[in-house]
Structure 1
Amino acid sequence: NKNEFENISNLHFEKCHLDKTLNYFEKFLYKQLKSQSKSDESIGDVYEIIGNISLEKFDYDKALINYLNLLEIKSFEKSPDDYSLINIYKSLGHIYLKKNLLNKSLFYFNRSNDCQLKETKIFDENIYSIIGNIYLKKHYAIDISFHLNENNLNEFYLERKYFQDNLFYFENFLEKFNENCLLKVFSLEQIYLIIAHILLEKQEYFRSLTYFHQLINCQQNNFSLLNIYIIIAKIYYQQKFFSQSLHYYRQSLILSKQIQPTNHLLIKKLEHHIRQIIIPNI
């Protein structure tokens, strides 16, 4: 097939071109670092070029190193919410997202929002769309056994301010959900999930429970429902509401045997938690 051959040839040419370009700028950077201050703005420009080429090559590790170096130079003697840093924050957010480091990705997208709000006083809806999808990704992609970790619910990944900013935006989004049916970025179920997880990470457990409970009746995804049952059971257990915790661990066990009968590790963990509530200190 002639077209297929041409496409492969073009891809090969592009890859060779990128490799040569990257090699050139890496050598150029090496010379610059030997002759100039490491904080020189022109060196920052080279870091950005190498970072962008690395992104083109899907080399996210190299892209990350260069963008972090770029941020160090460009942020010198600037406040963290300086608008000139917004695109660097966005790039870092996307790189961490590609690397599936979701909490770090959230951190940098929230940093970009700081810059946006300081400059324009307006939320960046595109960034909040990404933030919302990261929370959904955390919910759907997470290993269920993660929720059985005793320390899980007490870990903080973002600054408290970012939790509050995200919560404010999505609660406001929820209030206005029915105002414009044409511009719905998220379904109602997805908004509940996002808000529930933000509240969970803020350690506002009982507020998060109100959203998780609402989600139970509208779940079509059994894996997600299983996640929700386990989260609810865990919250109740940590808050010492043992009968409620027992109920949801039992629901989790029933559902896990239906949809994941071969996941013996999960089933054993759920059975252990049930026994632990029925017969403490075993």
Structure 2
Amino acid sequence: MKAYVFPGQGAQFSGMGQDLYEASSQAKAMFEQANEILGFDITRIMFEGSADELKQTKVTQPAIFLHSTILATVLGDEFSPDMVAGHSLGEFSALVANQALQFEDGLKLVSQRAQAMQKACELQPSTMAAVLGLEDGQVEEVCAQTDGIVVAANYNCPGQLVISGEVDAINIACEALKEAGARRALVLPVGGAFHSPLMEPAREELAQAIDQTNFANPICPIYQNVSTTAVTDPAEIQTNLVAQLTAPVKWTQSIKQMMADGATQFIEVGPGNVLQGLVKKVDRQMGTAKAAL
């Protein structure tokens, strides 16, 4: 069974999507439609922009979404998923790819999500940190014992967990995690505490937008970050999508469940190859590939 997986924030690079634009008239039309929907020339930034331009929140999330969804679309009959999943932002790409969401609706939601998250970040100094070399339970215990808001945010693969919260709480937790034996506990260059209670203002804003968007029955199940199990019910998909902003990304658990449900190959759709690496950390023998025209 083929499992298609879609990357999240951090996978962007200058020149992303340009090969699609030049190779496919359908891709070109979708990119130009995206410029109109967003109200600015995102294709110029994707193809020619600097790393700093691509790091702008209003650019990063739509850019990754566009690269992934347009590639899945122009693959045509080659794109034949038995199941899909997306890492954080990638969940929106996965929902367009499995036809639960229309492309235009998905792009609008991703743009609104990015702006809502940016506003939430500006309300309170907050950040995230990567923790390597500890069991999940050890990291969770340190977070629970640390004063202030600090929570497990991304369960990326065994031995790699990202924590999220207030700046001071993150710094204190990082020291405690090193003392507990972490190989690394490194503060990340991000502007906010994604997938933590500090994203509550963004969650409320996104909930309204998702509530006003039409979701259809998908062509295959999605394994969502919040639930980690196969979901096909549109109402449940919407609920999980809203909850995702303040809840952890349970990627390790999702991949393990997809394997348990029969996945024999994981194909990454979009920029970068991070997700293939994470799958291999869960099961070294699992087949992985990169989607390409």
For the superposition of Structure 1 and Structure 2, which TM-score range results when normalised by the shorter chain?
under 0.3
Normalising by structure 1, what TM-score?
0.21
Which structure's CA Rg is the greater one? Answer: 1
**Structure number having the greater strand percentage:** 2
Normalising by structure 2, what TM-score?
0.20
Q: Which one scores higher on RCO, CA 8 angstroms, separation ≥ 6?
A: 2
**Structure number having the greater helix percentage:** 1
